[in-house]
Structure 1
Amino acid sequence: MADVVFQHSRSARATGSRKRAGLHYALRRKSTVAFLLALPLILLIAILVLYPALYSIHLATLNKSMQHYVGFGNFRFLFRRDTFWMVVEQSCLFAITAVIFKALIGFFVAHFVHNIPAKGQRKWRGMLLVPWVVPPAMSTLAWLWLFDPSYSAFNYTLGLFGAGPIPWLGEAGWARFSVILVNVWAGAPFFMIMYLASLKSVPDQLYEAAAIDGANWWQRTWYVTLPMMRNIIAVTALFSLIVTFANFDIVRILTAGGPLDQTHLFATWAFKIGIEGGDIPLGASVSLFMVPILAVAAIFILRDISKRGNEA
């Protein structure tokens, strides 16, 4: 009897071992197939992203004629230029301010849409996504007409109330405000749709429990909504920060960096130096300065997400 039980136990262990081995083999085979299916996309990304990045690093080490190696000479030259540090300041101010306002507007608009009955949400989502869906160059041209010094629709409206015309694109402070305004208008819907998806994943039981405890709207938002959405907020802000920092079309169409280079960002100033000025290595050096700044921001944000994931 004992031998029968022992053999049965041994057979069960062998069967379980074969099942685990078969499952492990199947998972490994599926991962291999998945990698092979994704390989064309990986190669495409490497060709379109990795190669240009490495080539930019190579260009940044050459002189203006691209015939002699100068090492860090282009970077040392930029460090001695006041315009470069002004562009660094303007790029950081533009990106941080725009992302903060996009995040705030997207958060409140997402709450507004989330509280609309289900039948009306589709219509509101479609209308609010229009600024993000329209090509930036096309929408920026419309804003350029609104800011036009002679035919500005904004100045015409202000004139009806007796207010004087505003030099939207002719004065440095107003030009910066105008560029940030257009970027916020175009980018806030992206935050809205991301936050709306996150809001729908928050369990209603948490809000019901908070309401039973006597929490008001602000307390429910602060202690329930924000903690549940924190990772989505961080990832969305990081992605938007990268895109905003490298923005080109809005500044190029509205101000072209003016007046007096007061609205230049890294991308537009690199274009001015490299393409319009004919110094491609120096333009490549300017564009490369975005990498360490964005890398530091990404490290802090992703580290916070990882820390919270480990705590959970």
Structure 2
Amino acid sequence: MAASSVALLDRENVLGYVLMTPALLLLIIFIAYPFVLGVWYSLSDVQIFGLGKFIGLTNYTNLLNSPVFVQTVKNSFVYTGFATVFKLGLGLGMALVMNQAFPFKNIVRAGVLLPYIVPTALSTLAFLLAFNPTLSPLPWVFGPLHIPYPPAGFLGDPASAMGAVIFVNVWRGTPFFAISLLAGLQTIPQDLYEAAAIDGAHAANRFVHVTLPLLTPVLTIVLLFSIIQTFADFQIVQVLTRGGPADSTHLFATLAYQTGMQGGRLGQGAAVSLFMLPFLGLLVIAQLWYTRRNASER
């Protein structure tokens, strides 16, 4: 019996399925089941203390007629768009600098990662204190520079709250771009730069015609992960503003949490969460199409 079991495991296809089973079970328990349950919740009027009944697309139509949800959709695209652009620009610049030879280069690279490895909630609490109009040192800094400071603080003013949370997201997410793009830069052969320099190409030309094309595959993947993570962000906004003031910083995740968990309307909250799925799905499809097209061209 034992010999037959060993012989069975010696077959590559059987052993592969055996090794995949634990991971598959984890995916079913922690991803597939919650997703299916969320879809059912979004199609029902279930609440925290009730099973609920099937109501079709009523939750989704109610969202489309909700001014708060419409504002949340706008906020999510503004938040993701501006944060991604700034993280890309700053991260690429930092990667190009760190790719050069300079003293204490390894220490600088390790220091760049600090904002990313510190727990999000903990680092965001520090910014919450920095943005506090009473305890923050910012008014003392802005005063002599004649820079206007909102009386209610950056987080208490709807005109500046979104900019403040974007700033925190950029501060935290830029190291991910920097280190990932630095890894991509180090895979580019130096011979290509030397050949381009011999041909008379300046630094800008070498960046456009050598660095950027070879960095594009890494850049595409980093952008995809960053956009998905930013679009579904929860911790930064929840700690800083909880979606306020006047719903000016609500994102899909914070609105879903407020509606489903705090408000008890699980069905409506699930509908909010699933509403962002088509946007993320289209993004992934576009990225896969772009990657396959580049692979076929090569």
Does the alignment reach a TM-score above 0.5?
Answer: yes
SS in 1 for 2:171: helix
Q: 1:67 aligns with which of 52, 64, 76?
A: 52
Letter in 1 for 2:163: F
Q: 2:199 aligns with which of 209, 213, 224?
A: 213
1:198 matched to 2:180? The reply is: no
1:279 matched to 2:261? The reply is: no
Work out whether residues 270 and 284 of structure 1, in 8 Å CA contact, stay in contact via their aligned partners in 2.
yes
- Name the larger-Rg structure: 1
Match of 1:177 in 2: 163
Pair 1:216–1:32, CA change in 2 (3 A): farther
SS in 2 for 1:160: coil
Letter in 2 for 1:57: V
Pair 1:168–1:228, CA change in 2 (3 A): same
Cα deviation 1:232-267 (Å, max 9, x = unaligned): 111111011111111101001111111111100000
Deviation of 1:35 (Å): 4.8
Match of 1:12 in 2: none
Deviation of 1:154 (Å): 2.0
Counterpart Cα distance in 2 of 1:121 and 1:30: 46
> Which range moved further: 136-145 or 94-103?
94-103
Q: 1:122 aligns with which of 100, 106, 109?
A: 106
Letter in 2 for 1:259: P
1:303 matched to 2:289? The reply is: yes
Work out whether residues 136 and 250 of structure 1, in 8 Å CA contact, stay in contact via their aligned partners in 2.
yes
Letter in 2 for 1:133: I
Pair 1:34–1:193, CA change in 2 (3 A): farther
Q: Could you say which structure has the greater relative contact order, defined with CA pairs below 8 angstroms and 6 or more residues apart?
A: 2
- Residue segments in structure 2 that go unaligned for 5+ positions in a row: 1-9
SS in 2 for 1:44: helix
1:112 matched to 2:97? The reply is: yes
Match of 1:140 in 2: 124
Work out whether residues 140 and 254 of structure 1, in 8 Å CA contact, stay in contact via their aligned partners in 2.
yes
Deviation of 1:306 (Å): 1.1
Counterpart Cα distance in 1 of 2:113 and 2:162: 24
Deviation of 1:218 (Å): 1.0
Pair 1:136–1:224, CA change in 2 (3 A): same
Deviation of 1:39 (Å): 3.0
Counterpart Cα distance in 2 of 1:30 and 1:202: 37
Counterpart Cα distance in 1 of 2:192 and 2:138: 45
Deviation of 1:220 (Å): 0.7
Match of 2:22 in 1: 40
Match of 1:98 in 2: 83
Deviation of 1:64 (Å): 4.2
Pair 1:80–1:49, CA change in 2 (3 A): same
Higher helix content, 1 or 2: 1
Deviation of 1:303 (Å): 0.9
Pair 1:33–1:222, CA change in 2 (3 A): farther
Counterpart Cα distance in 2 of 1:30 and 1:77: 52
SS in 2 for 1:115: coil
Pair 1:92–1:162, CA change in 2 (3 A): closer
Cα deviation 1:136-194 (Å, max 9, x = unaligned): 00000000111101122222211233434233111122100000000010011011111
Deviation of 1:34 (Å): 4.5
Q: TM-score, normalised by structure 2?
A: 0.91
Deviation of 1:38 (Å): 3.7
Pair 1:52–1:102, CA change in 2 (3 A): same
Pair 1:197–1:38, CA change in 2 (3 A): farther
- What is the aligned-residue RMSD (CA, Å)? 1.6
Letter in 1 for 2:123: S
1:236 matched to 2:260? The reply is: no
Cα deviation 1:88-136 (Å, max 9, x = unaligned): 111011112111111111111011111034x732201110000000000
Q: TM-score, normalised by structure 1?
A: 0.87
Letter in 2 for 1:111: L
Pair 1:31–1:178, CA change in 2 (3 A): farther
Pair 1:80–1:164, CA change in 2 (3 A): closer
Work out whether residues 145 and 153 of structure 1, in 8 Å CA contact, stay in contact via their aligned partners in 2.
no
Match of 1:160 in 2: 144
Pair 1:77–1:136, CA change in 2 (3 A): same
